[in-house]
Chain A
Amino acid sequence: MSRLIADIRGLSVHFGEHLIVDGIDFSIQENEILALVGESGCGKSTVALSLLRLLPDKGCTVAGKVLLGGRDILTVPENELNDLRGSAVSIIFQDPSTALNPVWSIGSQIVETLRRHRNISAKAARRQAIDLLDLVAIPDPHRRIDDFPHQFSGGMRQRVMIAMAISCNPRLLVADEPTTALDVTTQAQVLELLDKLRRDLSMSILLITHDLSLVADWADRVVVMYGGQICESAPTRSLFSAPFHPYTQCLLASIPPLSGGPTHRTGRLFEGPSAGVVTASAAGCRYAARCDRAEASCLSAKPAIFSVGAGSHLAACPVVKPSVSLAATVI
């Protein structure tokens, strides 16, 4: 039985009137890569930011619990929070070209993180920063350490971000669309690196993405979000082989097959407003407005999450519930 690293309970986020994240629960186990997937505006990045309490104070209300090592990130005092940030939990962002400070050398940005959380001399921190750059495969690290962010390529900058994020051995690394701004070859290299690091440093990774192929290749478990709610949560293999929630099924059907050729029409997700727009008013299941299997009851109450078959496969859709036992026996 693996240990729990982070436990998110009833997390809700309001931006003014709008409910962006609607009371979600999930947990992250030791040493796993958990993928949080969903389309733009489904609230996945908001979840990522709230794990480090990085959402703006103004106009933004956060409720629920984010438990990390027994402490609730959302309520710890500011100074304790800053001790945890960068040390127990780190984050890397989508766009490495803006996430590093352009007027300080990358070395000084890594060194300051180390010296903030570790009681070490400037010299020792510098040596450690060189080792970290070596670890994330920056060639010639003792020379490049004094270079500035603009002297690196996009993929290299993301490696520097990763070096900085893992510098104090965090238990959890939040990777908010870490490869979206990178080209496909670099994407694979960065994820390979993250996968290697989580094994070598025994840390857990919350991988936020909308790219299902990344999920299939690298994640141990997947949480699917739609309109601020969790639709389905399952081990990766189980999710891809037997998706239960109508949204997940639709999402998987939208992946273009390699064999179809350029004229092959894949399943389209839907026409009409995006998930973000739907969020504002709906009371029941957020997906109901687009779901071709929706019933009257879907609109009135928020669907409960229940176990569907093998392992820890969970889904939140009352309509597909009857088929569950059948599906479970098939597996």
Chain B
Amino acid sequence: MKKHHGTNRRWALLVVAIAIALIATACGDDDAATPADVDDTPAADDTADDVDADDTPPEGFRFGLILVGPENDRGWSQAHVEGGQYVVDQLGAEMIIVEKVNPADKPDITVELVVDDLIDQGAELIFATSDDMKDGIIAAARNHPDVPMIWSSGDSAWADGQAFEPGLTNLGNIMGRMEFGKMIAGCAAALASESGEIGYLGPLINDETRRLVSSAFLGAEYCWEDAGNAAGSLDFSVTWIGFWFNIPGVTLDPTQVVNEFYDSGADVVISGIDTTEAIVRTGQRAAAGENVFAVPYDFEGACAEAESICLGVPYFNWGPEYLDVIESAAAGAFEADFVWAGPDWSDINSRSSSTIGFVPGDGLSADDAATLDGFIEGLADGSIDLFTGPLNFQDGSSFLGDGEVATDTQIWYLDQLLEGIDGASSAG
């Protein structure tokens, strides 16, 4: 019996060994066939973001894009892909994408490991495109001090910032001044709302999201009261799901949160998460006869989920800044700068110059659309400056005194939501 066992164990091990050997042989065979494959592979790659599998040095500059979500999320991650694609179109550079880099989708992967792989593949500049990648990209930048990297939405290269890493001369930051986009979103929501109750579908709580929720609130409050409603009568609440997108069993379900907003009297939901649940669910409820509207986020084409109830979308156009940094890296002149790029007020929807844009949606009436245009003009010429005091924090303490204008650091590191917003400023 014992002998039997031993023999068979050897057999079983042999099978595993044979399987591995088979794969190895396949590789051996394939080495000879590589030149033929090189011809095949580009033909098979018909989508723009695929990378040629050949090992020949590329003509163009090769850069890697690490996404927190799927590349076609019609939100945050896809906006980065579009930005990268803009560079590909402009420069003939090559883009390598790794999507869904987060502990829920890929528990066996870290940002550091992905960066190692991308550099193996010849990437000369790496974009880590989520706030969530902070620890990983800082460690990766330390591991590869000669490879320029960008942590999008981060503050590690900001000399005035709280997380400044002066030693990391190969890690820069790029972010857009989405405060303006969110103010416009808030204004559109207030113009369309009849009940005066607006829900904000929040992701997780941090400096960035407190800043953006507060901006949406300021825009909404301004347009609500500008339309003749009583001061303080706007009901603006935020519910945080706990991450940038839905992770079943871990975050709140965003669709459920949207339902709860509408069930409790809201008639507009502004999305702050990476994905499309707010506009999708709003579209379904509108189709069932409810008078509800949504403002999606991040991605220029986001209104396409439900055109008729879309009030418009504030979006990121990463292309121009990504082009700049890739050009300087390709010229060997990369600097670890902190870039916080605003809208190009002469044309906020310019592909080539405006990092922040806003596309009005079909859900907006002609009158409201005209009012919104006026609001945008006011932001552009500075006649409307919403981060001006008096403004209080949620706990009643003073954020800005009368007439005081917030500095960049005050806006970036807003450590509480503003007074007038219902919802948590931090957890616990």
- Check if A and B associate: no
Residues on B facing A (Cβ under 8 Å)? none
Listed in ascending order, the chain A residues whose CB lies under 8 Å from chain B are: none
